[in-house]
Amino acid sequence: MSQKIKDESSPVLIHIVLIAFTLMTIYPLLWVFTIAFSGKQSLAISLLPEDPTTLDRVRAVLPFPETVSLKNFIDVVTEQNFLIWMGNSAIVALLTTILGVFLSCTAAYAFSRFKFPGQRAGLMSFLVSQMFPGTLMMVPLYIIVVQWLNLGNTYWGLILVYATIAIPFCVWMLKGYFDTIPIEIEESAIMDGASRTVIFFRIILPLAKPAISVTALFSFMAGWNEFIIASLLMEEEKMYTAPVGLKFFVGEHATQWGSFAAGSIIVSVPVVLLFMYTQKYLVSGLTAGSVKG
């Protein structure tokens, strides 16, 4: 009992450490908000005078704009193709999610529930594929997707690539989770005359909701956030995804930090919301397999 009291002896200290860490974590994000709402294209929160005092310097660090304005947001949405790019990203990410979840769930179920020749090799090959350097794949991917499959500048080209690239990690994660679902449930269902398909869709998938949510989240993020392959496969400006478009603002010759910040916020909001929504599943979905298996 004395230990129990000792556990709670320093909540203040814990809070101080946590608050300090949290502030450091979110400061860059607050800074982006500041620039986005400043209405200017500059990087600086406030310009330092010739001979700055400490107060001036503190002002330049405080994440709050001198003047609040929505100009950057309006500019980004109206002046550029930004809304089209967002639309492209949304289509690509949503279809990637659907396809990615389908591919990963079916494969993970087989790897978890069946014993078959090639099972170990298949799983190992998935693991090893995580080590493939992206740079090695890009030239061949371009040849396959654009020249052979003729899917350059199309949504499907990107969707197929993203959904496939996400498979290995998702399969490993899902397999770990499926392994923790007791096999007796299925056996009794088989006794009742249910087919594999019914078991898979009616029993396993609902039980694996946390892991599937996390799979969906990762597939969505893979489609929403990627920009290298997207810039490789999408050559027409109308077909850019949001990340490719965003790089325009702070590329080698442009420094429209205000537009970039506003654009970043617009791009990040959907995925952050999704992340927060899925958060409750994140811990169990990610680690259930490795803990119990």
Partner 1 sequence: MHISHNIIRVTLGLFVGGLISAFLGYWFAEGALREKVAETRMRQGTIRAMALADLVHAEQSRTEKDKQTPGALIQFWQQRHQDIDAVRVMRLSGARLLASSFSDDLENGTPPRRLKRSEKAIYDMGQLLRANVDTNREEGNPREPEVMGGELANGRLRVAVPWFTAKSPDKAAGFVQLEISPTIQTKDPAFQPVLVLALVPALLFFFGSLILGRVVKLEHPESVVWSSMTTAVLLLIFGLLGFGNYYLIDLGQENVRFQQELAELYTATRTSAEEGAAEFNLDYQIGFSNDWDVNEFRQPLRFISFDGELYIGVGTAQDSVANRLGMAFFACSLLAVALLVFFGLGGAARLWRTIVDYREAYVYTLPAMIGMLVLVFFPFSYGIALSFTDQTLYNTEKPLLDIWAGLSNYIEIIGDFNLIQTTEAGWSFNYENFYWTLFITVAWTVVNVTIGVSVGLVLALLLNNKNLKFKAVYRGLLILPWAVPSYVTALIWKGMFNREFGPINHTLGILGLEPIAWFDSVFTSFLTGITVNGWLSFPFMMVICLGGLQSISADMYEAARLDGANRWQQFRYITLPSLKPTLIPAIILSVVWTFNMFNVIYLVSGGQPGGSNEILITKAYKLAFQDYRYGYSAAYSTVIFMILLIYGVFQTKVSRAMESNS
Please give the residues from 225 up to 284 whose contact with partner 1 meets the rule CB under 8 A: 225, 227-228, 243, 246-247, 250, 257, 260-261, 264, 267-268, 271-272, 275-276, 279, 282-284
Q: Does 135 bind partner 1 (CB under 8 A)?
A: yes
Task: Tell me the closest approach of the beta carbon of residue 122 to partner 1, in angstroms.
Answer: 7
Residue 9 is given by DSSP the state S
Which class for 246: exposed (0-12), middle (13-18), buried (19 or more C-beta within 10 A)? Answer: buried
Q: Does 128 bind partner 1 (CB under 8 A)?
A: yes
Binding residue for partner 1, selected from 137, 146, 205, 207, defined by CB under 8 A: 137
Binding residue for partner 1, selected from 95, 167, 212, 234, defined by CB under 8 A: 167
Comparing CB distances to partner 1, the nearer of 8 and 184 is 8
Task: Tell me the closest approach of the beta carbon of residue 207 to partner 1, in angstroms.
Answer: 17
Binding residue for partner 1, selected from 20, 74, 102, 201, defined by CB under 8 A: 102
Give the span between the Cα atoms of 153 and 150, in whole angstroms: 9
Q: Which pair of structure tokens corresponds to residue 254?
A: 């442009």
Q: Does 10 bind partner 1 (CB under 8 A)?
A: no
* Residues in 15-54 at the binding interface with partner 1, rule: CB under 8 A: 15, 17-18, 21-22, 25-29, 31-32, 35, 42-45, 48, 52, 54
Nearest-CA neighbor of 238 among 68, 88, 114?
88
φ, ψ for residue 129, nearest 5 deg: -65, -20
Q: Which pair of structure tokens corresponds to residue 25?
A: 């974590």
Comparing CB distances to partner 1, the nearer of 188 and 279 is 279
* Single-letter code of the amino acid located at 252: E
Task: Tell me the closest approach of the beta carbon of residue 269 to partner 1, in angstroms.
Answer: 10
Task: Tell me the closest approach of the beta carbon of residue 211 to partner 1, in angstroms.
Answer: 12
**Which string of x and - marks every residue 201-230 that binds partner 1 (by CB under 8 A)?**
--------------------x--xx-xx--
Nearest-CA neighbor of 37 among 2, 94, 75?
75
Q: Which pair of structure tokens corresponds to residue 35?
A: 């620039």
Residue listed under structure tokens 């100009």: 71
Cβ–Cβ under 8 Å, residues 230 and 88: no
Residue listed under structure tokens 């952050």: 272
Task: Tell me the closest approach of the beta carbon of residue 163 to partner 1, in angstroms.
Answer: 7
Q: Does 150 bind partner 1 (CB under 8 A)?
A: no
Task: Tell me the closest approach of the beta carbon of residue 237 to partner 1, in angstroms.
Answer: 18
Report how many residues bind partner 1 under the rule CB under 8 A: 102
* Residues in 180-199 at the binding interface with partner 1, rule: CB under 8 A: 196
Cβ–Cβ under 8 Å, residues 181 and 208: yes
Neighbour tally for 8: CB within 10 Å: 8
Comparing CB distances to partner 1, the nearer of 61 and 183 is 61
Cβ–Cβ under 8 Å, residues 153 and 233: yes
Give the span between the Cα atoms of 97 and 216, in whole angstroms: 6
